[in-house]
């Protein structure tokens, strides 16, 4: 979880305690959206194809994700793969 996700979740909690549930929900949804695009190492995931299926590859650690599961590690230099 990145610092930005934690910040948005804190804001969501504060807005909920303040009584503004709609704003709280907006912050929570933004945090979930950001967290889905990040790998467990904190790197950004980009779309790719692995074994003919659409997947996501982390630009930092090289993990290949399919259906929210780690399938393989790409050993290609990530700067060339992007």
Domain containing 69 equals 45-81
Same domain, 31 and 49: no
Q: How many distinct structural domains can be found in the chain? A: 2
Same domain, 30 and 56: no
Is residue 61 very low, low, confident or very high in pLDDT (cuts 50, 70, 90)?
Answer: confident
Residue 11 has a pLDDT of 95
C-beta contacts of 30-38 below 8 A and 24+ residues apart: 31/5, 34/2, 34/4, 34/5, 34/8, 35/1, 35/2, 35/5, 38/2, 38/5
Residue 22 has a pLDDT of 94
Same domain, 32 and 53: no
User: pLDDT by residue (tens digit) across 2-58?
Assistant: 788 889 999 999 999 999 999 999 999 998 887 777 777 777 888 888 888 888 888
Same domain, 26 and 49: no
Is residue 78 very low, low, confident or very high in pLDDT (cuts 50, 70, 90)?
Answer: low
């Amino acid at each position: 979880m990145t610092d930005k996700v934690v910040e948005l979740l804190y804001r969501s909690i504060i807005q909920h305690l303040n009584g503004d549930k709609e704003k709280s929900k907006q912050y929570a949804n933004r945090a979930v959206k950001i967290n889905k695009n990040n790998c467990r190492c904190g790197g950004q995931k980009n779309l790719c194809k692995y074994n003919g299926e659409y997947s996501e590859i982390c630009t930092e650690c090289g993990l290949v994700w399919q259906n929210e599961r780690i399938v393989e590690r790409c050993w290609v230099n990530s700067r060339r793969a992007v």
